[in-house]
Amino acid sequence: MIYKTHYCIRQKTPMVHHRVMLRCFVSRSLLTNPVAGQTRNMSGGSLAGSQSSLAGKVAVVTASTDGIGLAAAQALGQRGAHVVVSSRRQSNVDKAVALLQSEKIQVTGTICNVGKSEDRERLVNMTVEHCGGIDILVSNAAVNPFFGNIMDSTAAVWDKILDVNVKAAFLMTQLVVPHMEKRGGGSVVFVSSVAGYQPMQALGPYSVSKTALLGLTRALAPELAQSHIRVNCVAPGVIKTRFSQALWQDEDVVDEFKKQLSIKRLPSTSFLGVGEPEEIGGVIAFLCSKDASYITGETITVTGGMSCRL
Ligand SMILES: NC(=O)c1ccc[n+]([C@@H]2O[C@H](COP(=O)([O-])OP(=O)(O)OC[C@H]3O[C@@H](n4cnc5c(N)ncnc54)[C@H](OP(=O)(O)O)[C@@H]3O)[C@@H](O)[C@H]2O)c1
């Protein structure tokens, strides 16, 4: 006790100085950092049960009738969210809805080609009409119509890739934000790729589009934090889906990828020893939950240890 008093008296001037500095730092942070000082609704609202519960939330997941999008819908639904699934083909939507219903997930389905503005608007309007609002957007759709040397890619290739992979992700966000604001907040997750960090050979324009999503995440996060909306991103490595089939068909490519993986799986425990869609779905659900309430503007790489550096 004596020691403490003595210490305080001796340190009086520096301690006051430190407190003033700390106050300045905190008020500066509050002014410049739109996330600072917000504790309410950053995951998109109240909690029922655990921190990871999404009960009462409405989640729109694009391109969600197969692969990573479907796994994201399952993960969100298992945590209690009502999920709205969509893709270009009605037959795929019907199959996904039936599967999710069989898993006791609350689900609505509709056609949406994210490259078409009328489809994007219909998806959002239908969700609001059916489900009463929107709390979560997972922007997962992407196309890759081109394999080859980047110098051989055409304007049409770039238009298609940037329209679907980047512009549609932004335009979907722009459409859902007013509805999230009405709910007091929300969460947006973009699906990028390891190729966004390290361009894949023969997938130049696609890789560039995935790098753009890393930038979009960071550009949107500070602005939308003012509306209690968090914006994050996941960058999967090689995951077993139809989309990445072209990679698995080439044994040399698979071998090259495997050299870069830290998590070495036997093909008997996982297809070709690469990642599974559920391993991305769970991370997406985490980012949408209260567990991630202080995370915004981030990209989580889920690559089995492949190095990701810009
Ligand atoms: N698989 C990987 O190794 C990997 C790695 C890194 C990143 N990713 C990213 O993960 C995301 C999902 O890929 P995935 O591997 O899960 O693909 P996937 O299994 O082939 O599934 C693609 C889904 O997208 C739908 N779709 C395709 N084009 C669409 C469009 N224009 N509008 C709306 N829906 C569309 C498809 O259904 P319809 O045919 O009915 O439209 C299907 O439901 C993509 O953004 C991809 O870049 C994948």
Q: What is the pLDDT of residue 15?
A: 37
Backbone φ and ψ of 137, nearest 5°: -125, 125
pLDDT at 204 over 90: yes
CA–CA separation, 126 vs 129, rounded Å?
A: 5
**25-34, 43-52, 198-207, 218-227: lowest mean pLDDT where?**
25-34
Residue 87's pLDDT band, with cuts at 50, 70 and 90, is very high
Mean residue pLDDT across the chain: 86
Residue 167 carries which DSSP code? I
Is 274 in a helix, a strand, or coil? Answer: coil
pLDDT at 20 over 90: no
**7-11, 45-49, 222-226: lowest mean pLDDT where?**
7-11
Q: What is the pLDDT of residue 247?
A: 78
Q: What is the pLDDT of residue 236?
A: 97
Query: Taking a C-beta distance cutoff of 8 angstroms, is the pair 139, 173 a contact?
Result: yes
Sign, CA dihedral 171-172-178-180, equals: negative
Over the range 10-35, which residues count as b (16 or more CB within 10 Å of their CB) and which as e? eeeeeeeeeeeeeeeeeeeeeeeebb
- Annotated active-site residue 206? The verdict is yes
Residue 251's pLDDT band, with cuts at 50, 70 and 90, is confident
Residue 48's pLDDT band, with cuts at 50, 70 and 90, is low
CA–CA separation, 72 vs 31, rounded Å?
A: 35
Q: What is the pLDDT of residue 245?
A: 86
pLDDT single digits (tens) 54-72: 999 999 999 999 999 999 9
Q: How far is the CA of 206 from the centre of ligand 1 (A)?
A: 13
CA–CA separation, 266 vs 284, rounded Å?
A: 25
Q: How far is the CA of 262 from the centre of ligand 1 (A)?
A: 25
Question: Which structure tokens are listed for 129?
Answer: 């009409």
Is 111 in a helix, a strand, or coil? Answer: strand
pLDDT at 38 over 60: no
pLDDT single digits (tens) 135-151: 999 999 999 999 999 99
**Residue whose C-alpha is closest to residue 263's, from 282, 272, 195:** 272
Residue 126 carries which DSSP code? H
pLDDT at 83 over 50: yes
**Residue whose C-alpha is closest to residue 142's, from 123, 162, 171, 126:** 162
C-alpha distances in Å from residue 256, one per residue of 42, 248, 304: 40, 11, 14
| Ligand 1, atom 37, residue with closest C-alpha | 87
User: Which ligand 1 atom is at minimum distance from the Cα of 92?
Assistant: 40
How far is CA 223 from its chain centroid? 17
Q: Ligand 1: residues within 6 Å at CB?
A: 62-63, 65-69, 87-89, 92, 112-115, 140-143, 164, 191, 193, 236, 238-239, 241-244
Question: Ligand 1, residues 210, 243, 299: which to mutate, most atoms within 8 A of Cβ?
Answer: 243
Q: Count of H helices and E strands in the chain?
A: 11, 7
Which one of 3, 7, 197, 206 is the catalytic residue?
Answer: 206
pLDDT at 92 over 80: yes
Q: What is the pLDDT of residue 91?
A: 98
Q: How far is the CA of 80 from the centre of ligand 1 (A)?
A: 24
**232-236, 248-252, 286-290: lowest mean pLDDT where?**
248-252
